[in-house]
Amino acid sequence: MKRIICLTVMNRPGVLNRITNLFSKRNFNIESISVGLSEHEGMSRITCVVHVEDSGASEQITKQLNKQIDVIKVTDITDQSIVARELALIKVQAVPYTRNEIYSLIEPFRASVIDVSKDSMTIQITGESDKVEAFIELIKPYGIKELARTGTTAFPRGTQRTSQQSKSYSIV
């Protein structure tokens, strides 16, 4: 099962190394990890997406992360209502007669073109992983020359719905 874990950590040298080291030492499989500054000075926020076998393993991850001296807070936000985004940059082959076709795909996904050259264009897309995935599938036949994804970054919504059973949706 996929879990999304949010961490607040001290900005100390080697902190990301500590976290990733812990994952590999304990044999946890990371799908993505994204890091950046947070609203507090001296603290960063890390979002990890991990695959685990069962709830016991996900509890173990949370506890092991919490044990780290530099980790201030750990929350498994998978079952909460969250806002989650990923950014992908896709350089796709585009000759003059396919360009318009590609533009017509970009539009409904609210992606944007950020660079164009003679035989290619670079598209930027943000959204939940599924949406990015769907777009990449769609654009694949045109020939992807380069692809870079950031991995998910996320935190809980400002208001939590009372029922947390269903999958959380985000309106684009």
In the complex with other proteins, the residue whose CB is nearer, 39 or 137, is: 39
In the complex with other proteins, the residue whose CB is nearer, 70 or 128, is: 70
| Interacting residue with other proteins among 2, 29, 36, 66 (CB under 8 A) | 66
| Residues in contact with 86: Cβ distance below 8 Å, sequence separation at least 6, in sequence order | 32, 126, 127, 128, 129, 132, 149, 150, 151, 152, 153
Of 114, 57, 71, 63, residue with least CA distance to 90: 114
**Segment lying near other proteins (by CB under 8 A), choices 60-68, 91-99, 108-116, 147-155:** 60-68
The stretches of 34-171 forming alpha helices (DSSP H) are 55-67, 96-109, 129-139
Q: Does 158 contact other proteins by CB under 8 A?
A: no
Of 6, 11, 64, 4, residue with least CA distance to 31: 4
**Segment lying near other proteins (by CB under 8 A), choices 69-77, 118-126, 146-154, 159-167:** 69-77
Using only C-alpha atoms, the chain has a radius of gyration, in whole angstroms, of 19
Q: Does 25 contact other proteins by CB under 8 A?
A: yes
Q: Does 21 contact other proteins by CB under 8 A?
A: yes
Return the number of other C-beta atoms located less than 10 Å from residue 40's C-beta: 12
| Interacting residue with other proteins among 16, 72, 89, 105 (CB under 8 A) | 72
| Amino acid identity at 6 | C
Instruction: Measure the CA–CA gap between 90 and 88, rounded to whole angstroms.
Output: 6
In the complex with other proteins, the residue whose CB is nearer, 51 or 67, is: 67
Site size with other proteins, rule: CB under 8 A: 21
Residues that bind other proteins (CB under 8 A): 9-10, 13-14, 17-18, 21-22, 25, 56, 59-60, 63-64, 66-72
